[in-house]
Chains A and B, each alone.
Chain A
Amino acid sequence: MSAAPASSRAAAGTPLIDARDLEKIYSSGDVQVHALRGVSLSVAAGEMLAIKGSSGSGKSTLMNVLGCLDRPTRGRYWLAGEEIGCLGRDRLADIRNRLLGFVFQNFQLLPRTSARENVELPLLYAGVAAKARRQRAEAALARVGLADRAGHQPNQLSGGQQQRVAIARALVNDPKLIFADEPTGNLDSRTSAEILRLFEELGAAGITVLLVTHEREIAAVADRVIEMRDGEIIADRRRASRRSTREDA
């Protein structure tokens, strides 16, 4: 996959993500938790966006809603021009399959299943034939530097390698958007830096990346950093300089 030309990103009139006044209320028993209290957010295609904030501020909740894994209690949300609120479960599954990729803090790989088969999973549900599945999975694994580990099972891989497999899985169906919720949370700082570099490469290749992180250096690679507190966005900073340097490159 080659980097999309800068012009096409600039020309994209509608934002990839357009969320307005999202609210999410968890109610367990008679206790109600306002995890999101009116979040509005617009993300253009190709942006690399970091979300930070203290624990419990609603970062994961926001990611899940934007990633079509969860529905907001109130508010409207357009993804790639389509309003998500009124879609059924099947259509949401298709959107997750074709448009989105997920990277989780705890990897979420299928146990006793080889790296290649784990990466093939989204293609399976996209109806890709076995041979093409295999080739594309191997290409995705090569892209994250694990070409020689395709046959290994998760318990034969280090944490960093497992997260690379998960990234390959997120990539394999050429998504427009990748969600990563604390992808380096379970890794040491050196491995984190490697994973981070991978996300940078993805961003450079034109994939929109939404990254939840606590770490300063990771937030530093993003074009834009959003800070949350108590279910609200309290800061939204762009780094025009970084973005322009990448576009110049």
Chain B
Amino acid sequence: MSFVQVLFVAVRALLRNPLRSFLTALGIVIGVGCVIAMTSIGSGARARVDETFSAMGSNMLIIHSGTSRRGGARGGAGTLPTLQWEDLEAIQNEVPAIASAAPLLTSAAQLMAEGQNWASSVRGTTPVYFEIRNWPIGRGRFFYDAEVDAGAKVIVLGQTVVDNLFGAFTDPIGQIVRVGRVPFEVVGVAAKKGQSAFGTDNDDVAFVPVTSYRSRIEGGLGQFLDGTIFASAVSAEATQEAQRQIEELLRARHRIRPGEPDDFVVRNLGDLAAAQQEGARTMTSLLAGIALVSLVVGGIGIMNIMLVSVTERTREIGLRMAVGARPRSILSQFLVESMVLSLIGGLLGVAAGLGSASWLVARFDWPMLLEPGIVALALGTSAVVGIAFGLYPAWKASRLDPIQALRYE
């Protein structure tokens, strides 16, 4: 008997009891469906983490003041600034792996426009900050370097601030916003960035030139930089190297002796991204593991039904043997039957998995990524499950004695 004939016989036998065949395959449908849905959503989640971090600037480094050693008492990170304005210049000019660096000074402030006011976060920085953060302008423009040098009273608002101060109908560009008592002219609105990876609103913010910030909003601490330095490495691969070079530079500048701890903190977003990635991957493999278990359960379901089927069809087997079926033909018939069952289950499962994944995507705005390798793996696994769990019932069928099988009640 050729394989096609065996396949034909098996399919005919399955179609004689379509509902039962379908229910038997259902275990595999669910198993494979879970694998596909989980991994699609899982890799979607990884892709989103990637996206988030590259939106933040994947070659970005953040430098904070660390624990101060001054005065003997150790404060928390950044409690007393240890970074100096000259450090910023040195990082910009002396670190080969750094493309650019910008200060970021932050304070809470009450913003006022005509008739409205809004408590938000005001930040002093330089135009290069927006490049480092990969943050495009939405309307108008960012302030220029010349405006930074001149200490111009210009301000760039985040979308949330615009919404609260001006509503949907007023064009904010050219309007005056007071920070405390100081009037600033709105020159631009930063593009909407949405929630940060840490759940805060990226758009509830206003930017002014760092010089204006120091002279008009917070007096500052002279030579110390009471904030954060954002820097970008020349490439994503260079971030590690950039971090090392900055640490070396700052230790030298702060005269920290070997063995003593840093008085600053350099964070590398690449590491953070990798950690997030790792988390997402662990989650995916956990879910895939659960899904695989359900595949095995589906396989046991198939085995159960195949055993029932062998018992039920004992007379059929006896008759097939009486008219000349070899034991091997019987074995392959039942084996192919269970394989067809689980493969069809697998195919339906792929469809169900993709269906439910895309439903989740539509429902929860969650990214989905179909990995063809996983589909092949799921189908392969279901075929293997079919063979593995069909083997015993098929073997049992093929060992039947023709006359006893024919006489079976």
A-side residues, CB < 8 A to B, are 64, 67, 69-70, 89-90, 93-94, 96-98, 102, 104, 108, 110-113, 117, 121-122, 124-127, 169, 173
Query: Which residue of A is nearest B398, CB measured?
Result: A89
- Residues of B near A108 (CB, < 8 A) are 315, 318-319, 322, 406
When the two chains form their complex, are residues B319 and A110 in contact, meaning their CB atoms are under 8 A apart?
Answer: yes
CA distance A122 to B320 in the complex (A): 8
When the two chains form their complex, are residues A124 and B9 in contact, meaning their CB atoms are under 8 A apart?
Answer: yes
- Residues of B near A124 (CB, < 8 A) are 1, 5, 9
Cβ 8 A contact of B329, one of A64, A104, A113, A125:
A125
B1-26 interface code vs A (CB 8 A; 1 in, 0 out): 11001000100100010000000000
A69-B403, A127-B5 known, 5 other contacts, Cβ within 8 Å: A90-B327, A96-B324, A97-B324, A102-B323, A173-B324
When the two chains form their complex, are residues A93 and B325 in contact, meaning their CB atoms are under 8 A apart?
Answer: yes
CA distance A84 to B320 in the complex (A): 20
Contact of A64 with B403 at beta-carbon distance under 8 Å, contacts A93-B321, A124-B5 already known = yes
Q: Does B44 contact A (CB under 8 A)?
A: no
CA distance A69 to B318 in the complex (A): 9
CA distance A89 to B331 in the complex (A): 13
Q: Does B253 contact A (CB under 8 A)?
A: no
Cβ 8 A contact of B322, one of A98, A102, A110:
A102
When the two chains form their complex, are residues A121 and B320 in contact, meaning their CB atoms are under 8 A apart?
Answer: yes
B-side residues, CB < 8 A to A, are 1-2, 5, 9, 12, 16, 315-316, 318-329, 401-403, 406
Query: Which residue of A is nearest B324, CB measured?
Result: A97
When the two chains form their complex, are residues B327 and A125 in contact, meaning their CB atoms are under 8 A apart?
Answer: no
Query: Which residue of A is nearest B327, CB measured?
Result: A89
When the two chains form their complex, are residues B326 and A113 in contact, meaning their CB atoms are under 8 A apart?
Answer: no
Contact of A94 with B323 at beta-carbon distance under 8 Å, contacts A112-B16, A113-B16, A125-B1 already known = no
Cβ 8 A contact of B326, one of A70, A90, A102, A122:
A90
List 4 A-B pairs, minimum CB-CB distance, nearest first.
Answer: A97-B324, A125-B324, A122-B323, A93-B326
Q: List 13 A-B contacts (CB under 8 A).
A: A67-B322, A69-B402, A69-B403, A69-B406, A94-B326, A96-B324, A98-B324, A108-B406, A111-B16, A121-B320, A124-B1, A124-B9, A125-B320
Kindly provide the distance from the CB of B8 to the nearest chain A CB, expressed in whole angstroms. Answer: 8
- Residues of A near B403 (CB, < 8 A) are 64, 69-70
- Residues of A near B325 (CB, < 8 A) are 93, 125
Question: Which residue, of B5, B9, B324, has the highest number of chain A Cβ atoms within 10 A?
Answer: B324
Kindly provide the distance from the CB of B7 to the nearest chain A CB, expressed in whole angstroms. Answer: 12
- Residues of B near A70 (CB, < 8 A) are 401-403
CA distance A84 to B324 in the complex (A): 15
When the two chains form their complex, are residues A96 and B322 in contact, meaning their CB atoms are under 8 A apart?
Answer: yes
CA distance A77 to B403 in the complex (A): 18
- Residues of B near A97 (CB, < 8 A) are 323-324
Kindly provide the distance from the CB of A210 to the nearest chain B CB, expressed in whole angstroms. Answer: 15
Query: Which residue of B is nearest A93, CB measured?
Result: B326
When the two chains form their complex, are residues A125 and B323 in contact, meaning their CB atoms are under 8 A apart?
Answer: yes
Cβ 8 A contact of A89, one of B316, B322, B326:
B326
Question: Which residue, of B1, B319, B320, B322, has the highest number of chain A Cβ atoms within 10 A?
Answer: B322
Cβ 8 A contact of B323, one of A89, A111, A117, A121:
A121
Query: Which residue of A is nearest B325, CB measured?
Result: A125
- Residues of B near A111 (CB, < 8 A) are 16
When the two chains form their complex, are residues B319 and A126 in contact, meaning their CB atoms are under 8 A apart?
Answer: no
Query: Which residue of B is nearest A127, CB measured?
Result: B1
- Residues of A near B329 (CB, < 8 A) are 125
Kindly provide the distance from the CB of B309 to the nearest chain A CB, expressed in whole angstroms. Answer: 14
CA distance A127 to B1 in the complex (A): 5
- Residues of A near B16 (CB, < 8 A) are 111-113
Kindly provide the distance from the CB of B239 to the nearest chain A CB, expressed in whole angstroms. Answer: 67
Contact of A94 with B324 at beta-carbon distance under 8 Å, contacts A110-B316, A124-B5, A127-B1 already known = yes
CA distance A124 to B318 in the complex (A): 15
- Residues of A near B328 (CB, < 8 A) are 90
Contact of A126 with B324 at beta-carbon distance under 8 Å, contacts A69-B406, A108-B319, A110-B316 already known = yes
Kindly provide the distance from the CB of A70 to the nearest chain B CB, expressed in whole angstroms. Answer: 5
CA distance A146 to B1 in the complex (A): 27
CA distance A97 to B322 in the complex (A): 8
CA distance A104 to B402 in the complex (A): 13
Kindly provide the distance from the CB of B34 to the nearest chain A CB, expressed in whole angstroms. Answer: 34
Cβ 8 A contact of B324, one of A110, A117, A122:
A122
CA distance A135 to B402 in the complex (A): 28
CA distance A110 to B325 in the complex (A): 14
